[in-house]
Amino acid sequence: MTGSDSQHVDPHESADAVHLPRPTVAPLVLATGVMMLAAGVVLGLPFLVVGIVLLVIGLARWIGQLLPDEGHMAEPRVPEGVPAPIQPRLGKVPALQAGMPGYRLRLPVETQPISAGVKGGIVGGLVMPIPAVIYAVLAGHSIWYPVNLLAGMVLPGVDQMTVDELNQFQPTLLILGVIIHVVMSLVLGLIYGVLLPTLPAIPQALAWGGLLAPLLWSGATYLTMQYVNSTLSEGVSWPWFVVSQFVYGITLALAVKDSRRPLLAGLIGGWIGGLLMPIPAVLWSLVSRHGVWYPVNLLAALVHPDAKVASLEALEALRLDWLGTGLVIHLVFSGLFGLLLGLLLRVLPAIPSQLAWGGMLMPALWSALSYGMMGIVNPVLQQHVDWPWFVVSQFVFGAVAAIVVMFSEKVAIPPAGPGQPEEPTVVATESSGEPLPPAGPEETP
């Protein structure tokens, strides 16, 4: 080796390893941040805040990969050896041609058609108003209350109406609410039908964790607040609350699904999920300018006598006794629900992927669209919506739509390619140029 060659040798190269770029998730995080920023223009400030955080993290991570010795890794060399000789084997394999099975085959082999999603959206849209009407009757409202609130998603000025006016029959709001309901049912059903062939199968534990945790924890908290002090539930942003429980359920499911000791795994997974679950709640509280102590003070108000009747300013301030009470409640709830779900996740049957995606995807899409559009057009109306019941309605929609899709007839996915060209039919003719008549069966004497 000459002196000039030795100057160009990479110091990281060695006989046992090769210097390669290190894999990084930074581009994916950066792209997600840009997407959330774009969504925040329409859906509001929370998406903007999350987008900025992800954008900064992704950009910083990517720039950090450019620093010396940070963005590279040593990949071990494959030991050199004499490859085994290839033994020839006689025989012929027919060549694949366009249109033959196995030639650039599209996967999956069969799936429900897109029209099944539209049908599911129609049927789910017919069933979904039932929980909304039940809530309206139980809450002392009229049956027109839910549809009038729905019209407020796009019609300005509805937030100026009183509760008595929202309970009245309003022809304009009824027509507009029905149109919104029909359009969103068809569009979300169509989206579900288009996405379904591309959605992966959900493991049993993750499917139940994503469904049971928001249902059990949100239901228990909502009922307790209604019993202790019904005004407390008005200070909770239930869509964000459900997101927090979803984070808890997924974290717990990941801890339990491969464990041989479900009780211990459920307890530990519940506490780990309890550590992660407050992140969406604190993020919402900061964005809504309530301060970092507001969520835990609301939780303490379930049992603390002073917090039950505290004003908004008091709930936003730091109180050590309320903080301790809220942390104890959170710790107990995390452990109990972890034990319960740890036992249930091991014995519950598997959920079909269509039903799991319908029960989680549809409520998330519909609730996010409604919450975001209502926050832009009529922000005050968000306080009139009982969001736990709203999410229940969307869950009914998603589950019914998924059941319709599951029982729809599947269609086969044809192989890619134009297929074999048809051979031209040659018709024999006599010398006169007239075509011969078709040959019939021979007659036997």
Whole-angstrom distance, CA of residue 175 vs CA of residue 327? 47
422-433 residue pLDDT tens:
444 444 444 444
The residue type at 324: G
Strands 411-412 and 17-21: unpaired
Mean pLDDT of the chain: 78
Distance of CA 407 to the CA centre of its chain: 23
Where residue 220 falls among pLDDT bands split at 50, 70, 90?
Answer: confident
Distance of CA 114 to the CA centre of its chain: 19
Given this model, what pLDDT does residue 314 score?
85
Given this model, what pLDDT does residue 441 score?
46
Residue with tokens 């937030």: 159
For the chain, the distance separating the N- and C-terminal CA atoms, rounded to the nearest angstrom, is 97
103-121 residue pLDDT tens:
555 556 677 788 888 888 8
Where residue 95 falls among pLDDT bands split at 50, 70, 90?
Answer: low
Tell me what the mean pLDDT of segment 371-394 comes to: 78
Distance of CA 144 to the CA centre of its chain: 31
The residue type at 297: N
Where residue 254 falls among pLDDT bands split at 50, 70, 90?
Answer: confident
Domains of the chain, residue spans: 16-70, 110-406
Global pTM reads 0.57
168-207 residue pLDDT tens:
898 888 999 899 989 988 888 888 887 777 777 777 777 7
Quote the tokens at residue 140: 């002392």
Whole-angstrom distance, CA of residue 60 vs CA of residue 53? 11
Whole-angstrom distance, CA of residue 225 vs CA of residue 233? 6
Q: Is 401 exposed, middle or buried (0-12, 13-18, 19+ CB in 10 A)?
A: buried
117, 190 Cβ separation under 8 angstroms: yes
Where residue 100 falls among pLDDT bands split at 50, 70, 90?
Answer: low
Quote the tokens at residue 127: 């069933």
Tell me what the mean pLDDT of segment 83-112 comes to: 66
Give the largest CA-CA distance in the chain: 113
Q: Residue 1 above 70 pLDDT?
A: no
Q: Identify the residue with better confidence: 91 or 338.
A: 338
CA-nearest of 89, 66, 68, 78 to 15 is 78
Q: Residue 416 above 80 pLDDT?
A: no
The residue type at 326: G
Whole-angstrom distance, CA of residue 246 vs CA of residue 214? 6
As a three-state string, the secondary structure of the chain is: CCHHHHHCCCCCCCCCEEEEECCCCHHHHHHHHHHHHHHHHHHCHHHHHHHHHHHHHHHHHHHHCCCCCCCEEEEECCCCCCCCCCCCCCCCCCCCCCCCCCCCCCCCCEECCHHHHHHHHHHHHHHCHHHHHHHHHHCCCCCCHHHHHHHCCCCCCHHHCCHHHHHCCCHHHHHHHHHHHHHHHHHHHHHHHHHHHHCCCCCHHHHHHHHHHHHHHHHHHHHHHHHHCHHHHHHCCHHHHHHHHHHHHHHHHHHHCCCCCHHHHHHHHHHHHHHHCHHHHHHHHHHCCCCCCHHHHHHHCCCCHHHHCCCHHHHCCCCHHHHHHHHHHHHHHHHHHHHHHHHHHHHCCCCCHHHHHHHHHHHHHHHHHHHHHHHHHCHHHHHCCCHHHHHHHHHHHHHHHHHHHHCCCCEECCCCCCCCCCCCCCCCECCCCCECCCCCCCCCC
Tell me what the mean pLDDT of segment 404-422 comes to: 67
Tell me what the mean pLDDT of segment 248-265 comes to: 80
Q: Please state, for a pLDDT cut of 90, what percent of the chain lies above it.
A: 2
Tell me what the mean pLDDT of segment 220-241 comes to: 76
Given this model, what pLDDT does residue 440 score?
46
> 435 φ, ψ to 5°?
-70, 145
Tell me what the mean pLDDT of segment 332-348 comes to: 82
Q: Is 139 exposed, middle or buried (0-12, 13-18, 19+ CB in 10 A)?
A: exposed
Residue with tokens 């890794």: 73
Highest mean pLDDT among 61-65, 117-121, 228-232: 117-121
Tell me what the mean pLDDT of segment 369-385 comes to: 77
120, 190 Cβ separation under 8 angstroms: no
CA-nearest of 352, 349, 367 to 399 is 352
Whole-angstrom distance, CA of residue 363 vs CA of residue 390? 9
35-57 residue pLDDT tens:
888 888 777 777 888 888 888 98
Given this model, what pLDDT does residue 39 score?
83
